[in-house]
Amino acid sequence: MATLQFWKPGTTGPGSTLDRANETDDSVISSAPTTSLSIQAARERLPIHKYRQNLLYCIEKYGVVIVVGQTGCGKTTQLPQYLYEAGWASEGNIIACTQPRRVAATSVAGRVASEVGTIIGDEVGYTIRFEDVSDKERTHILYMTDGILFRETLVDPLLSRFSVIMIDEAHERSVYTDLLLGILKKIRRKRPSLRIIVSSATLDAMSFVDYFSSGGLENEVTVASLEGRMYPVEIAHLEQPTPDYVKTAADTVWNINLQQSRGDILVFLTGREEIDRCLEKLAERLPNLPRNASPLKLFALHAGLSIQEQLSVFEPAEPGTRKVIVSTNIAEASVTIDGIKYVVDSGFVKVRTYNPTTSLSSLVTVPISLASAIQRAGRAGRTMSGICYRLYTSSNLKSLSPTTQPEITRTDLTTVILQLKSLGVDDLMKFEWVTSPPAESVLRALEGLVASGMVDEDGRLTVVGEKVAECPVEVNLARMLFASKDYKCGDEILTIAAMTTVQDVFIIPDGSAGALAELERRKFTAEEGDHLTLLNVYNAFVRYGRSSSWCKSHALSFRALSRAISIRSQLKKYMQRFDLPTESCQGDAKRLRQCLVSGYWRNGARWVADGTYRSVRGNTVLHVHPNSVLFTRKPRSGWVIFHEMEETKKTQIRILTEIEPDWLLDYGHKFYPKHGGS
Ligand code: CDP
Ligand code: MG
């Protein structure tokens, strides 16, 4: 096995920003296991505790408090509790804390509920999309995703049930965090009693201060800096760059297990495929594990898993075994997985980017920012001192951009603009953006909204647009739900919308088991493509009693399908609210495909003779994802629409359905040149 050229931990290289952590006097803290302490005593030992009075004073006196502190010092779990104890949730008020990710909202709420001594969903609750574990009367501390809180402004523009809103992990600059900051600034002018807390990593704090101090609010903003980190983290960089960080990650995990003392391992890679590859490499080697080494318990953590699967990584490993969690960026912020002592950081992240010229969104793997590198390393020092192995050199570190580029600058703004308009923000130029999105992206989104009849020529929301804005799914899916009335296929479109919202329905392992799974999948294949195949899977699952053993024998994910059922029933409520019929198309696949085009018309592609496709807009070369039923077959018409696109080494499209090219013209007439003089 290749030995790794790491600098010895402790002799950290230049530029390693966590060096300082080693110098702080944490010896007293790190020697005592927290588990032996009462909850109250453990809370009082967190670095944030000594700032309790000061923080409460700041929040009393200032409208906006920017809180800066090292990861693990207690912001997310403690601040809402301090506010609660100080009476900010009296008179039925709620203290909200937003998270960019669902798993963070869920797991933190669980932790805080146990600290408060209540069951989750009572005094402490959480709300994420399609899941509300809170009580209207009794919940006082509410963790929620930023997207959900933003949605709430559509119904309650002043967010009147909240006394304090904490925007956590603001430095991640997710789209909804940015939108919320803009809305909150507006709300504060109308409702000065509302308190806003923005918690951020150090490097980004000043941009939030500047943002909130402009426009007459100069004296309302203050910064609270919390010194102190729980446990020291040592950093090691690679001496030479690695050509294959997935393999190096697996090697590193293996070596840690052989050479380092007890403690679990958290690995950061970019996506499910890399995670599976890394876990396979480790699994293959497990039989060769020396007898005296700890057995490894392997976990994946990514957004494609159900919340229950995601939460399973939080369960402690059996004594004597070592837990290895291979994760996407999802574990970078907010979550504390007990027992993590070692972090392995690939230095890369997959982000969704949007190309306004082609109107196509795709997933691209890019180097992380310095702020992210610090966050990732911080995951190792949460419950004990730790070591972070960076799979890049220290000179690579210096070339990283300091902070993460705000998502709003690289995303498809269709849904965002629709929702802003629905909030009455008609003049997008006047909205106080933390960072303005590129004009071209705004323009493309507006064009798309006009073309699909959701915004009129004067830029105002139409009746359909208003309704679509309320639906908790992407605009393209919502658009299809509404169009299903005309195509008389509401029943099927509901299922397809739910099935494309969950990921990884098929479980196709590599090797011979994979070939068998592949055969199972063929049983559901619809020749029209993947959307109808997903529909077949769903219908069969329901018909055969929704059982997990049935799923197992057909290489399907029981969890994913169960989630699809729950999402479908929630979307159905929206359909009923908007008086949309949920009738079946009775097997008329043509109508169904036409309805799909009403949502996916921007994602049209044409087959070319070498087996690849060209996007209708931009003429980009597209490869079919191997999981598609159209992977090896030319569509009869030569044309498809696709659900999403991902850029790895090449650009791949997933979830395809054959269409007739003329159907695209019904929606894209503003964009596509008309055929032969028609
Ligand atoms: O938000 P911040 O990074 O400042 O810290 P936090 O999430 O409030 O966590 C504070 C401390 O609580 C961590 O350092 C852990 O020691 C502990 N914690 C834990 O042990 N288990 C959790 N699920 C959450 C927090
Ligand atoms: Mg936090």
Task: Using the mean position of ligand 1's atoms as its centre, give its distance from the Cα of residue 273 in Å.
Answer: 29
Task: Using the mean position of ligand 2's atoms as its centre, give its distance from the Cα of residue 199 in Å.
Answer: 8
Q: Which residue has the tokens 């300082």?
A: 20
Mutate to test the pocket of ligand 1, among 43, 166, 168, 336 (most ligand atoms within 8 A of CB): 336
Checking if the pLDDT of 191 tops 90, the result is: yes
Residue 231 alpha carbon, nearest atom of ligand 1: 14
Within 13 Å, how many C-alpha atoms sit on residue 98's CB side?
32
CA 255, CA 75: separation in Å to the nearest integer?
34
> Mean of the per-residue pLDDT values for the chain?
87
How many CB atoms lie under 10 A from the CB of residue 128? Answer: 21
In this structure, of 35-49, 184-198, 388-402, 517-531, the range with the lowest mean pLDDT score is 35-49
% of the chain with per-residue pLDDT over 70: 91
Task: Using the mean position of ligand 2's atoms as its centre, give its distance from the Cα of residue 16 in Å.
Answer: 22
Residue 199 alpha carbon, nearest atom of ligand 1: 1
pLDDT tens sequence across 28-54: 233 333 444 688 898 999 989 999 999
Mutate to test the pocket of ligand 1, among 77, 78, 198, 311 (most ligand atoms within 8 A of CB): 77
DSSP-derived pairing of the beta strands 94-99 and 141-145: parallel
Res 391: pLDDT: 97
Res 138: pLDDT: 95
Where does the pLDDT of residue 668 fall: very low under 50, low under 70, confident under 90, or very high at 90 and above? Answer: low
Task: Using the mean position of ligand 1's atoms as its centre, give its distance from the Cα of residue 371 in Å.
Answer: 19
Residues in contact with ligand 1 (CB, 6 Å cut-off): 46, 69, 71-78, 107, 111, 230, 336, 338, 382-383
Task: Using the mean position of ligand 2's atoms as its centre, give its distance from the Cα of residue 70 in Å.
Answer: 9
Checking if the pLDDT of 12 tops 50, the result is: no
Task: Using the mean position of ligand 2's atoms as its centre, give its distance from the Cα of residue 201 in Å.
Answer: 10
Residues that place a CB less than 5 A from ion ligand 2: 75-76, 334
Where does the pLDDT of residue 330 fall: very low under 50, low under 70, confident under 90, or very high at 90 and above? Answer: confident
Burial of 649 (0-12, 13-18, 19+ CB in 10 A): exposed
Checking if the pLDDT of 670 tops 80, the result is: no
pLDDT tens sequence across 272-323: 889 999 999 999 999 999 988 999 999 999 887 777 788 888 888 888 899 9
Distance (Å) of CA 384 to CA 74, 234, 237, 304, 532: 15, 12, 21, 29, 50
CA 404, CA 664: separation in Å to the nearest integer?
36
Region 338-343: mean pLDDT is: 91
Res 295: pLDDT: 93
More confident residue, 325 or 378: 325
DSSP-derived pairing of the beta strands 639-647 and 604-607: antiparallel
Res 658: pLDDT: 97
pTM: 0.79
In this structure, of 89-93, 514-518, 531-535, 573-577, the range with the lowest mean pLDDT score is 514-518
Q: Which ligand is nearest to the CA of 78?
A: 1
Closest residue to atom 16 of ligand 1, CA basis: 383
Q: In what order do the strands lie in the sheet with 221-226?
A: 131-133, 124-128, 141-145, 94-99, 162-167, 195-200, 64-69, 221-226
Mutate to test the pocket of ligand 1, among 374, 382, 383, 385 (most ligand atoms within 8 A of CB): 382
